[in-house]
Structure 1
């Protein structure tokens, strides 16, 4: 009974970690089925991607326990699919909102963080590009390196989003995002560094 309650709390917490930033952002917008829709939607996909990636980072630190109590592989597979959808939708909706006038980006956002966003996107998408080959040859031997590269991209996401995200310039989301960034960094350091020395 205690395990079930604990599991429900963990699932509810995970859902809240993703839903809360989306709710804060969505509730501050005026919604209409017009040209503003892509502009309203694109930040939500960015927030969702980062929140889901945060869950990945945190769950990695607790993987042995989570595997014993949840279908961990199913969680990773399903959330990875959602993250991929968000990674595609986030920049695509932004470009749609600008009428694919890419140069307009430079009039709206700091060019440094635009380029950082491109680098972040490439690092994150590398996971999905190489995933089909994870059990073969070079990638099987170096899959941990692919995960580390993807996680570096994830951590850089916080610099990109804190600099450009209008909803992340003030609390409560700025505080939440800084908390996510710090805890994700600690979790990744533990998962890919400290854990091997504690075995």
Structure 2
């Protein structure tokens, strides 16, 4: 199959993966009442951010193949910017909806779920902070660890959204969300566990082979 076909298929897949939850939320809104804009809008950014993060998780599994089909780095950079904006706007609008009262944030649901979201946000932001400071040796040397930390943040937001998301408590979208979460967990295990271990084993084999040649 041609590269253009693969690019088209990937674009459609990404649009459906991101557009389905966002459109489900937007389609259920009542926009007639102006004061309802903020409480109706902030969940959209949460759905958008998580859906894009899910694509990132899957892309880690298929990265070698994806790099042959698309400009992978451009995809990551552009979607990372959208994710950053979304993960900032989601809690900011939720906070604005309760007049910036930290105490009233917990009126949205269980305290545990709120804290999962807060910690998840902080861990996710390590990616953007680390990326901005990657020119410094500490951050470049620990880039893989930063990716792991931000991925843990992503998984925390899954449980946060599953507990609090008004659109995710029942119905079709909840099933989709569970599918996203479960596949993201397996993708994370593969990318940061099995794949890294496999790469490490390959490097050890190369060193062993080089030592044999030298001897």
Measured against the shorter chain, the TM-score band is over 0.9
Note the C-alpha offset of 1:92: 1.0
Deviations 1:150-180 (A, max 9, x none): 0001011111000011110012111111100
Q: Which structure's CA Rg is the greater one?
A: 2
Cα distance in structure 2, aligned partners of 1:126 and 1:155: 14
* Greater than 3 Å deviation, 4+ residue runs: 196-199
Counterpart position of 1:153? 153
Q: SS of 2:102's equivalent?
A: coil
Q: Does 1:131 align with 2:131?
A: yes
Question: How do 1:27-176 and structure 2 match up within 5 A?
Answer: 27-32=27-32, 34-176=34-176
Cα distance in structure 1, aligned partners of 2:122 and 2:197: 31
CA contact (8 A) 1:22 1:47 kept: yes
Cα distance in structure 1, aligned partners of 2:54 and 2:8: 19
Q: SS of 1:134's equivalent?
A: coil
Cα distance in structure 2, aligned partners of 1:108 and 1:144: 34
Bigger CA drift: 136-145 or 74-83?
Answer: 136-145
The number of residue pairs the alignment matches comes to 199
Note the C-alpha offset of 1:57: 0.5
Question: How do 1:14-33 and structure 2 match up within 5 A?
Answer: 14-32=14-32
Q: SS of 2:17's equivalent?
A: helix
Q: Which has the higher contact order (CA 8 A, sep 6+)?
A: 1
Unaligned runs of 5+ in 2: 200-215
Alignment RMSD, CA only? 1.4
Q: Does 1:189 align with 2:189?
A: yes
Q: SS of 1:168's equivalent?
A: coil
Cα distance in structure 1, aligned partners of 2:195 and 2:130: 25
Deviations 1:123-154 (A, max 9, x none): 00111112122242111111000000000010
Cα distance in structure 1, aligned partners of 2:17 and 2:187: 16
Give the TM-score of the pair, scaled to structure 1: 0.95
Bigger CA drift: 96-105 or 178-187?
Answer: 96-105
Unaligned runs of 5+ in 1: none
Cα distance in structure 1, aligned partners of 2:4 and 2:26: 32
Note the C-alpha offset of 1:186: 1.0
Cα distance in structure 2, aligned partners of 1:61 and 1:192: 10
